[in-house]
Structure formats: structure tokens, C-alpha cells
Amino acid sequence: MATKKTNTFSSKPKSSGGLFGIWLGLSVIVILLDQISKITIERSFQFAELYPVTSFFNLTLAYNKGAAFSFLATEGGWQRYMFTAIGVVASLVITYLLKKHAAQKLFCWALALIMGGAIGNVIDRVMYGHVIDFLDFHYKDIYHFAAFNLADSAICLGAALFILDELRRVKK
């Protein structure tokens, strides 16, 4: 009597629980890279110091008390708590969505990147009262895009992947 041979090297995990761990791991990697880069810049630069890397890109040390593009940065301090709360709530919702939809790869890549970036910036707000930014893109000295960090980059990449996933889903 022949027995059916199973492939022990299957590329698909047996449960979405294993995938959930992968998505959380991706978020942790984003958080670690973000925090290591911020610590390195904080220790290497004085506030507002510029280090030209290319004709259109500098490294710098900037502090952002607001949200993206320094939105609400000049307010009295309440924004720190509001943006921290938004980041925490978003991370809780994303954790739920990652667990529920762990098998949807592109969707979960997007959410894991967004969550890692959000938590990276929440850590800054809690520890320092502001977010550390250091990536400075510019056009000559005429226009400087708002400085940002790896957490912001992960959030933007995650948002782009989320849109791509939704567009692919609509086409089906």
C-alpha cells in the first residue's frame, strides 16, 4: 500500500498565525532601523547642522513637534499627545487587521510598514516630545522638502502599497 508523501519544505505556512508573526517581525525591523538611524544622527549632528551628501540631498538633525510636513508644529504642545494617541490607536487597529488578514501579502506588507513607522514616531514623541528627522531633499538652495526619517518613509511606502493593493482588488 502506497502512502502519500508530504512536502516538508512547503512555501506556505500551515496557519495564518505564522504569517501574523512575520508581519509583526517586519514592523519590529522598521522600528529598529528607524530608532538606530535616529540615535546615530542625534549623536553625530548638532541641531540644524547640514551634511551635504549629493547636490539634492543632505543629512541634518531636525526636530518636529507636529505631524507630517511639520503640521501643527507651532501649537502649544497638545499635539504631542494627540499624535501619540493616534499612533497607538492606529497600531492597535493594524494589529487586529494583520491577524485577521494575515494571508493577504501585499495588504499586510502595507500595514506592517505603516505600523512600524507609526510606532517609531510614537517612541520619539514619548521619549523626546518631538520626532527626530534627518533626511533633507532639496532643489539647489531654492526649495527644501520637509525633513523626514525612516519611519516616515515606511509609512509612505506602506500607504503606496495599500493603494496598490486596493487598486488590484478593485480590478478583480
Active site residues: 133, 152
Pick from 68, 91, 95: which is nearest to 79 by CA? 68
Residue 27 CB-density burial (10 A; 0-12 exposed, 13-18 middle, 19+ buried): buried
In the chain, DSSP assigns E strands to: 50-52, 57-64, 131-139, 143-144
What are the contacts of 78-82 at 24+ separation with CB within 8 A? 80/125, 80/129, 80/130
